[in-house]
């Protein structure tokens, strides 16, 4: 099992150590140990730290799936994994937006919904709309 380090591009202690051999569709390093397909970062954890408690996942602090640097890995549950994915904006689901793209808060007063076809209840920011209309007005006035 120690051989797995020969398939890892070890770098500095703080850097990512990408797996250099086979990968899963999701981009995780994968290898076969005793005829069993195993995820490389889980093997790296087992070698560097110890056995992984049943039901727990090995998550990446660096969000780099092929990375096998034990310093970038941490133990978590599947639930943590999903929460972590949401926090990092991965497509497990998105938290409800609390601010518009320009950082205005979606308060009751500052929010309106697009209605009709295409709009489908999308939330929009009144501050932005106001600013956009004002900009248009100024542009018309001073081309």
* Binding interface with Zn ion (CB under 5 A): 16, 62, 64, 67, 69, 72, 100, 102, 104, 125, 127-128
Q: State the minimum distance, in angstroms, from the CB of residue 34 to Zn ion.
A: 26
In the bound complex, what is the minimum distance in angstroms from residue 116's beta carbon to Zn ion?
Answer: 21
5-31 residues labelled b (16+ CB within 10 A) or e (exposed): eebbeeeeeeebbbbeeebeeeebbbb
CA distance 91 to 120: 21
| In the complex, minimum distance from the CB of residue 11 to Zn ion, in angstroms, rounded to a whole number | 9
| C-beta closer to Zn ion: residue 77 or 97 | 97
Looking at the Cβ atoms of 31 and 60, the one nearer to Zn ion is 60
Q: Which is nearer to Zn ion, 65 or 93 (CB)?
A: 65
Q: Which is nearer to Zn ion, 15 or 36 (CB)?
A: 15
CB of 143 to Zn ion, least distance (A): 26
Structure token digits, residue 12: 């500095």
Residue 120 to residue 28: CA distance in whole angstroms: 37
Q: How far apart are CA 66 and CA 131, in angstroms?
A: 44
Min dist. Cβ of residue 10 to Zn ion (A): 11
Residue 40: count of CB within 10 angstroms of its CB? 26
> Distance between CA 125 and CA 89 in Å, rounded?
21
For Zn ion, the closer of residues 4 and 125 by Cβ is 125
């Amino acid at each position: 099992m120690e051989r797995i380090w020969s398939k890892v591009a070890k770098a500095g202690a703080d850097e990512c150590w990408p797996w250099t051999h086979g990968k899963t569709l999701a981009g995780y390093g994968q290898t076969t140990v005793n005829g069993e397909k195993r995820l490389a970062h889980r093997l790296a954890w087992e070698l560097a730290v110890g056995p992984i408690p049943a039901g727990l996942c090995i998550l990446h602090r660096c969000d780099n799936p092929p990375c096998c640097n034990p310093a970038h890995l941490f133990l978590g549950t599947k639930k943590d994994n999903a929460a972590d994915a949401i926090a990092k904006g991965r497509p497990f689901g998105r938290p409800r937006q609390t601010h518009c793209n320009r950082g205005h808060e979606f308060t009751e007063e500052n929010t309106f919904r697009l209605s009709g076809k295409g709009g489908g209840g999308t939330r929009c920011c009144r501050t932005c709309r106001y600013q956009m209309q004002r900009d248009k007005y100024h542009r018309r006035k001073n081309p």
